[in-house]
Amino acid sequence: MRALWGREVPVPNPIRVALKEIVGEPAASAVDGVRVLEHSPFARLHVRATATTRRGLVFLRAGAEEFFADPALVLHEYCHVLLQWEPGSLTTWRYVRECLRRGYWNNRYEVEARTFARRHAKQFRALLEPKTGHE
């Protein structure tokens, strides 16, 4: 069964810390529970998707290093997990229904995740910048 899901990789601590600050409570308490799975056959089932999510899970088509190097994608996928799946507003059925009604690009879950990523990208990058000690 593990082969279907992919190989779990640890989320780098600076990314976890930055995500907690950005999402705030109550979502921040769920950040540590999110599992990231790279080279996931399950992600590849989703046609051209770079990643797909479920409650507490991010499935990556490629490697985690590439994912963690893309702040916009990290924010987008964590928005799905922490702000949509966790509180229960996103379900597989609701997502499919939105895609059928509005298409992938215009479904409300994708619009919300893109907006969240855009809104927080600058702050996320700043939080990930190494501190020089020269203030």
> CA 91 to CA 85: how far, in whole Å?
7
Task: Give pLDDT tens digits for 88-117.
Answer: 999 999 999 999 999 999 999 999 999 999
Residue pLDDT, tens place only, 59-95: 999 999 999 999 999 999 999 999 999 999 999 999 9
Q: Is 132 within a domain? A: no
Give the domain range for residue 59.
2-125
- As for how many domains the chain has, the answer is 1
What's the pTM value of the predicted model, to 2 decimals? Answer: 0.92
CA 99 from centroid of its chain's CA atoms: 19
Which pair of structure tokens corresponds to residue 134? 């020269």
Alpha-carbon distance of 29 to 16, in angstroms, equals 11
Q: Considering the domain boundaries, does residue 130 fall inside one? A: no
Residue 11 lies in a domain: yes
Whether 104 maps to a domain, the answer reads yes
CA distances to 5, 40, 70, 98, 113 from 15, in Å: 22, 21, 11, 30, 17
| Residue 133 is assigned to a structural domain of this protein | no
**Domain annotation covers residue 134:** no
Question: Do the domain assignments include residue 100?
Answer: yes
